[in-house]
Chains A and B, each alone.
Chain A
Amino acid sequence: MSADAVLAEFKDVDQGEAFASSADACEVRFVAGQVKGATVRETSGVGVRAIKGGKLGFSGTRDTSQAARLQLRQNVLDSLEVGDPSQLVFPPPAEAAPVPGLFDEATGALGVPQLGEIGAKVFGALRARHPDVVFEGKVRRSKGQHSLANSAGAGFEERYTGFSISVEANRTRDEDVLLDFVYAGAPAVDGVDPEAVVERLSQRLRWAERTVEFRPGKVPVVFTPEGSLLLWRPLLQALNGTTVMLGTSPLRERLGEQVLDPRVSLVDDGRLPGALGSAAYDDEGTPRQRTPLIEGGVLRGFVHDLDTAQRTGQQPTGNAQRGGALGQPSPGYTNVLVSGGETPQAELLAGIDYGLLVHSVIGMGQGNTLPGNFSNPVDVAFLIEHGQVVGRVKDVSLAGNVYDVLGAKHLLGLSKEVEPVYGTYRLPWVFVKDLNVVGKSAK
């Protein structure tokens, strides 16, 4: 189904927009280090928005039958009929240069045998190094395209590819269970270094070889780039145009103010070459852009789609995203980049006499995170003694507020190194002082 063809069925509305997506993916799954299965997927779907008499309607379908196409039209009109008034104006054509490095022919052509070979190397290396650990995971490639057409004449068609390796490690010693996870993804197979995947996971497994006691209290805490998402995620919630529009973002009225330590800078970059979150256009046809959100600790902006921009009196930032063809657009992040600091990570670590290194916590995002509060047991975390990682720490919880932790009072520093996390983040290590760590001995 092409977006143009679907849009042509909606000539009798004031404004129309069709979004079509199709993809095929191929993945090989490993369990206990062995190949367990292979899967090929083909998906396609279309979503339509229409405005008539100032009211907006939406429907979508992944049913490819002719009958479903007819029903789609009726569903859009039914939705429009009951819709609330909308000021939305679909945008006219806008030029956007393609972002390099998002489609790789060779990656799109990878089949089950090639993916299996890559996986066999990764899982083979991990098993050889850690015979007491059970590894599970998959190697995956995808290839797809999005297209959009609207009644103002805007439209685009973009192709993309993706490649990823994900591994979960499970080491069970009676009641002592260690679960760790690593993911690396990029638009092209060349963008992922399988040996680095093995090395990153392997280092933590070695660190976790023995479990040590931790003395709770207010201590320095170091977050790995993955672990630092505990701090960045509530902030990203508050920087999203949706919470600004709803009036629940604690940052909604603080544009131009110093909200974090001056060393903190954060941008959303929808045009980063060779990054999984990049594209020339967002899912409403607005050109993607680089949007500074926090600069030197000062609040500079929010991420918006057409609707949240219009309702907050701000400009769209090219951040409209749909959860596939059946979802309506809402603001989401593309690639989130946090600037690194001046000092190398090793040097910062060396300065810690007694502290906690946190790689993951349990229940991230649960509870009331919008005001910035967090309270989570650690999952994969380590004791730092005299600048060295000496063993795994269990059964302690972290608590605090991200606006304090990333504020001048608590922030010790950000590492010079900035690392890719989950394909779409580029994050430094975060060093914090006097964070509250609660354990069983604390009454």
Chain B
Amino acid sequence: MSQDTAGNYRDRIARALQASPAPYTEIRIEETSGTRVVFRGERLEAARAVLDRGGFVRCLAPGGGWGTATFNDLDQLERKVAEAFACARAIPGEAVTLAEVAPVESISRAQLGEDFRQVPLREKVDLVRGLNAIMLETDPSVKSTRAIYQDRMQTVYYGNSQGTWIVEERPLIDLYAIAEAVRGDDVQMGSEARTSANRGFEVCRGQEAMARTAAQRAREQLDAKPVKGGCYPVVINPSLAGVFVHEAFGHLSEADFVAENADAQAAMRMGRRFGRPILNIADSGVADPEGDLPGTHAFDDEGVPMKRTQLVHDGVLVGRLHSRETAGRLKEEPTGNARAQDYNHSPLVRMRNTFIEAGETSFDDMISDIELGVYALKSRGGQTCLGTFSFSSAYAYMIRKGKIAEPVRDVVLAGNLFETLQNVSAVGDDFAWDNAGRCGKEGQSMPVGMGSPHVRIENVVIGGEA
């Protein structure tokens, strides 16, 4: 492939940084190779390898905002530094102050079990074909399937004018099994997904259960009745609770939301009570026992080491997530949460792996006094508009007289963040991580992890036919 080496990039970036007239300049070059295999129904829809390489330059001019240039042709690096500086100078804005961080030098290479770059495309196709066949064979009502494998090895070369030099390999593998069961005009879906960072092809072996589960769920949903809309006590499983904490709370703790908005700062003031003392929430790029959660890296895209950040302690807001810019503005410590999808994008404040810490309530105790409620499992998408959030569960059951009862579908939970967190009335003792997948923000999709035990929430509005 490319003849360029880390040493070569280091020299080029160092020269370009030296030539920059800006007081602060950072340069990121990324090389990415990836493969993707997609089966739809019985047909192999895609089996491909693609290459990507590009650069990102960002400058601060005296008394001004960010000037940025992104590009594919790396031979233009020095010209792009000049263009980024010209951008910064063209529009004088409010000065940006970056929080201080110590310069670092680090080269971290991925430690893969079975290097997916060495696995022939045919072997990947065969693996996905196998998962796809399981879905089609599991139930005759399954008419449509998607089985997807994708991997990528992204190598990031990052240097800034404060002396930081980082090379980081960020391998990522996604595996999806999606089954659609059809009966008349009704189509129901079952979907299983697993995103693994920092792992090799071995994580894809022995995943046949994913395919079987997806097919069975799709089939079961055909028989589930639509949930009756209303207001219920709801118990959500660890996977859905992870999405809940990410959507409902996590996005508000991203400091770019509050940094330039005094009213939002007041709403998200430190020390404010968000929940009962049983509620503890954190975000971490490091506290990951297996090291394969999608948000786990060594550094963010401003060269700041990732760490664990406590967000809520005993129900009280104690922290938030920062870039160097938001930390500088709010005079708080940077947390290593400035992440960019790729060289086409500026880093934004993003979560890594966000989780509700384990509590003390057993699942049985959690549901035993619920006369009529909903047990919702797994997410099928979620969105937050800061104050208000919504997420869909992939499947669900009614809870009747303290027992799990009949399956229901089309369960969409909605609420106001501030009320809903106060309404978290029990936190389970059964914490589990979820290698969830992706989060979108301002057009950038980032791998994120989530985790939680079972959680009970009172008075949740569930949409549906009344």
Binding site for B on A (CB under 8 A): 28-29, 31-32, 34-45, 57-65, 67-68, 71-72, 75, 78-79, 81-84, 111-113, 116, 132, 134, 170-179, 216-217, 246-248, 250, 326, 328, 362-368, 370-371, 373, 375-377, 379, 394-395, 397-399, 436, 438-443
Instruction: Convert B372-397 into 0s and 1s, putting 1 for each residue whose CB lies closer than 8 angstroms to a CB of A.
Output: 00000000111111111111100000
Chain-A contact segment, one of B180-188, B200-208, B444-452: B180-188
Instruction: Convert B23-67 into 0s and 1s, putting 1 for each residue whose CB lies closer than 8 angstroms to a CB of A.
Output: 000000001000000001101101111111110000000000111
Contact B1 A71 (CB under 8 A): yes
Query: Contact check: which of B44, B51, B230, B263 meets A173 at CB < 8 Å?
Result: B263
Contact B69 A40 (CB under 8 A): yes
Contact B229 A438 (CB under 8 A): yes
Question: With A and B bound together, what is the CA distance between A437 and B307 in angstroms?
Answer: 44
Contact B44 A438 (CB under 8 A): no
- CB of B411, distance to nearest CB on chain A (Å): 9
Contact B387 A367 (CB under 8 A): no
Contact A38 B68 (CB under 8 A): yes
Contact A440 B459 (CB under 8 A): yes
Would you list which residues of chain B between 70 and 117 have a CB under 8 Å from chain A?
70-74, 76, 83-84, 86-88, 90-94
- CB of A233, distance to nearest CB on chain B (Å): 14
9 pairs of A and B residues whose beta carbons are closest in the complex: A366-B381, A177-B387, A37-B66, A397-B463, A375-B463, A377-B414, A63-B53, A172-B263, A38-B87
- CB of A127, distance to nearest CB on chain B (Å): 13
Interface size for chain B: under 10, 10 to 19, 20 to 34, or 35 or more residues? Answer: 35 or more
Question: Do A367 and B263 form a contact, CB below 8 Å, given A37-B67, A67-B1, A247-B143?
Answer: no
Query: Contact check: which of A41, A72, A175 meets B416 at CB < 8 Å?
Result: A175
Contact A65 B466 (CB under 8 A): no
- CB of A38, distance to nearest CB on chain B (Å): 4
| A113 / chain B contacts, CB cutoff of 8 Å | 90-91
Asked if B410 is at the interface (CB within 8 A of a chain A CB), the reply is yes
Contact B381 A363 (CB under 8 A): yes
Query: Contact check: which of A68, A79, A175 meets B387 at CB < 8 Å?
Result: A175
Question: Do A42 and B52 form a contact, CB below 8 Å, given A399-B463, A399-B464, A442-B466?
Answer: no
Asked if B144 is at the interface (CB within 8 A of a chain A CB), the reply is yes
Instruction: Convert B421-462 into 0s and 1s, putting 1 for each residue whose CB lies closer than 8 angstroms to a CB of A.
Output: 000000000000000000000000000000000000001011
| A442 / chain B contacts, CB cutoff of 8 Å | 229-231, 466
Q: Name A364's closest neighbour in chain B (CB-CB).
A: B383
Contact A436 B466 (CB under 8 A): yes
- CB of B170, distance to nearest CB on chain A (Å): 17
- CB of B97, distance to nearest CB on chain A (Å): 13
Asked if B270 is at the interface (CB within 8 A of a chain A CB), the reply is no
Question: With A and B bound together, what is the CA distance between A254 and B392 in angstroms?
Answer: 30
| A376 / chain B contacts, CB cutoff of 8 Å | 390, 412, 414, 463
Contact A436 B391 (CB under 8 A): no
| Residue picked from A71, A84, A134, most chain B C-beta under 10 Å | A84
Question: With A and B bound together, what is the CA distance between A176 and B385 in angstroms?
Answer: 11
Q: Name A168's closest neighbour in chain B (CB-CB).
A: B442
Question: Do A398 and B46 form a contact, CB below 8 Å, given A39-B346, A116-B90, A440-B231?
Answer: no
- CB of A73, distance to nearest CB on chain B (Å): 12
Question: With A and B bound together, what is the CA distance between A134 and B267 in angstroms?
Answer: 14
| B266 / chain A contacts, CB cutoff of 8 Å | 172, 174
Contact A82 B47 (CB under 8 A): yes
| B189 / chain A contacts, CB cutoff of 8 Å | 368
Question: With A and B bound together, what is the CA distance between A67 and B33 in angstroms?
Answer: 13
| B48 / chain A contacts, CB cutoff of 8 Å | 57-60, 75, 79, 328
| A40 / chain B contacts, CB cutoff of 8 Å | 68-70, 83-84, 87
Contact B229 A35 (CB under 8 A): no
Contact B344 A37 (CB under 8 A): no
Contact B388 A379 (CB under 8 A): yes
| Residue picked from A61, A172, A247, most chain B C-beta under 10 Å | A172
- CB of A165, distance to nearest CB on chain B (Å): 16
13 contacts between A and B (CB under 8 A): A29-B65, A41-B70, A43-B71, A68-B53, A75-B48, A216-B466, A217-B466, A246-B143, A246-B144, A395-B461, A436-B229, A438-B461, A442-B229
- CB of A57, distance to nearest CB on chain B (Å): 8
Contact A35 B466 (CB under 8 A): no
Contact A326 B50 (CB under 8 A): yes
Contact A134 B260 (CB under 8 A): yes
Contact B51 A42 (CB under 8 A): no
Contact A248 B463 (CB under 8 A): no
| B50 / chain A contacts, CB cutoff of 8 Å | 59-61, 75, 326
Asked if B261 is at the interface (CB within 8 A of a chain A CB), the reply is yes
Asked if B2 is at the interface (CB within 8 A of a chain A CB), the reply is yes
| B412 / chain A contacts, CB cutoff of 8 Å | 363, 366-367, 375-377, 397
Asked if B465 is at the interface (CB within 8 A of a chain A CB), the reply is yes
Asked if B118 is at the interface (CB within 8 A of a chain A CB), the reply is no
| B122 / chain A contacts, CB cutoff of 8 Å | 81-82
Question: With A and B bound together, what is the CA distance between A237 and B276 in angstroms?
Answer: 43
| B186 / chain A contacts, CB cutoff of 8 Å | 371
